[in-house]
Amino acid sequence: MQRARVIRIISNHYTCITEKGDVFATGASGKLRKGVSPMVGDWVDVLHGSDLSVIERVYPRSNQMMRPSVANVDAILVVMSTLKPEFSSLLVDRITWLVRQANIQPVLVVSKWDLLNDKAELEKTLDDYRKVMPVFTVGKGVDNSALMKFMANKICVLTGQSGVGKSSLINRLDERYTIKTQEISKALGRGKHTTRHVELLPVQQGWIADTPGFSSLDFSHMTHEDLIKCVVEFEPYREHCRFRNCQHVNEPDCAVKKAVEDKKIPQDRYTHYLEVRILIDQKKEIYL
């Protein structure tokens, strides 16, 4: 029996890699198929037969992402471009809250840094995010060594709208890769994605998975209480609200609302919180 990590799945064909770096193909054992199916990112035990190797066991996962299916994710890189498409803190908030709900660390990666001439305003917005998550800026001709250092020994999954430059980023992180990218005008057109199956690609002692740009965000599985926990900016203030179950909306003596008034919590973050609460009430999936 050999312990290995699944890095690619195409129908019933699994590609695994051992801790030493040996790569091999396997199938899944019959008894396994009834239980948990292996996902990309899984640690598994492989039994090497004379002509076929099979996955016999899947180790418990620290987390698992759907769309795309990846297990044991250390960080999700939320890619948002400065321009084309334009930076949206509403989208950053919505995505990072969904990432936290999945129990995964969000990282903000601001792409196309080269396209923005006056960076002062965006820098202010980014400073707010830097207080709660790692933030990296990347782009053509931009030094990306800080991001590379962060990625070492981690499984990172890229997410973000179509056309923000996820595939281009991987191509820039490692010269080996020439993943297909597309013109922005085409990327912004709906339903056309260049990136298809999920695969972990080695970069700098770590792993990265590209994903196709998403076209909707689904809050239907979240409760108001879940959301409050995901807005980490509220955390230092929550326990000082008068009511223990304070929703930070209309209650008197709400320490969160006070912190917003005192500009300790960005006004935007709070406004977006109220908006997502409504989406939760409506059990809505929003289309971009």
Ligand X SMILES: Nc1nc2c(ncn2[C@@H]2O[C@H](COP(=O)(O)OP(=O)(O)OP(=O)(O)O)[C@@H](O)[C@H]2O)c(=O)[nH]1
Stretches 155-163, 199-207, 216-224, 234-242: which one binds Zn ion (CB under 5 A)?
Answer: 234-242
Cα gap 65→287, rounded to integer Å: 20
Cα gap 85→92, rounded to integer Å: 13
Which residues, at least 6 apart from 115, have a Cβ–Cβ distance to it below 8 Å?
Answer: 81, 82, 83, 84, 139
Single out the residue of 106, 165, 206, 266 in contact with ligand X (rule: CB under 6 A): 165
Q: Residue type for 20, please?
A: K
CB of 236 to ligand X, least distance (A): 34
- Residue 184's binding partner among Zn ion, Mg ion, ligand X, none (Cβ under 5 to 8 angstroms by kind) is ligand X
The residue count of the chain comes to 288
CB of 54 to Mg ion, least distance (A): 33
Instruction: Report residue 140 CA to chain centroid gap.
Output: 22
What is the SS3 assignment for 217?
A: strand
- Residue 256's binding partner among Zn ion, ligand X, Mg ion, none (Cβ under 5 to 8 angstroms by kind) is Zn ion
Stretches 28-36, 113-121, 241-249, 277-285: which one binds Zn ion (CB under 5 A)?
Answer: 241-249
Determine if 183 is a binding residue for ligand X (CB under 6 A).
yes
Which residues, at least 6 apart from 99, have a Cβ–Cβ distance to it below 8 Å?
Answer: 76, 78, 105, 106, 159
Residue 40 DSSP code:
B
Determine if 254 is a binding residue for Zn ion (CB under 5 A).
yes
Determine if 227 is a binding residue for Zn ion (CB under 5 A).
no
Q: Which is nearer to Mg ion, 53 or 167 (CB)?
A: 167
- Residue 72's binding partner among ligand X, Zn ion, Mg ion, none (Cβ under 5 to 8 angstroms by kind) is none
Q: Is 265 exposed, middle or buried (0-12, 13-18, 19+ CB in 10 A)?
A: buried
Determine if 259 is a binding residue for Zn ion (CB under 5 A).
no
Single out the residue of 57, 166, 257, 272 in contact with ligand X (rule: CB under 6 A): 166
Give the containing element (helix H, strand E) for 185. helix 184-188
Give the containing element (helix H, strand E) for 93. helix 89-101
Binding-site size, Zn ion (CB under 5 A): 5
Task: Dump the DSSP string for 74-85.
Answer: SEEEEEEESTTT
CB of 258 to Zn ion, least distance (A): 8
Q: State the first-to-last Cα distance of the chain, in angstroms, to the nearest integer.
A: 46
- Residue 165's binding partner among Mg ion, Zn ion, ligand X, none (Cβ under 5 to 8 angstroms by kind) is ligand X
Q: How many other C-beta atoms are found inside a 10 Å radius of the C-beta of residue 276? A: 24
Interface ranges with Mg ion (CB under 5 A): 166-167, 194-195
Interaction with ligand X in 51-110: which residues (CB under 6 A)? Answer: none
Dig out the tokens for 243 from the structure.
């009511």
Single out the residue of 45, 114, 128, 226 in contact with ligand X (rule: CB under 6 A): 114
Determine if 193 is a binding residue for ligand X (CB under 6 A).
yes
Determine if 167 is a binding residue for ligand X (CB under 6 A).
yes
Determine if 112 is a binding residue for ligand X (CB under 6 A).
yes
217, 286 Cβ separation under 8 angstroms: yes
Determine if 248 is a binding residue for Zn ion (CB under 5 A).
yes
- Site for ligand X, rule CB under 6 A: 111-112, 114-115, 139-140, 160, 162-168, 181-184, 187, 193-195, 212-213
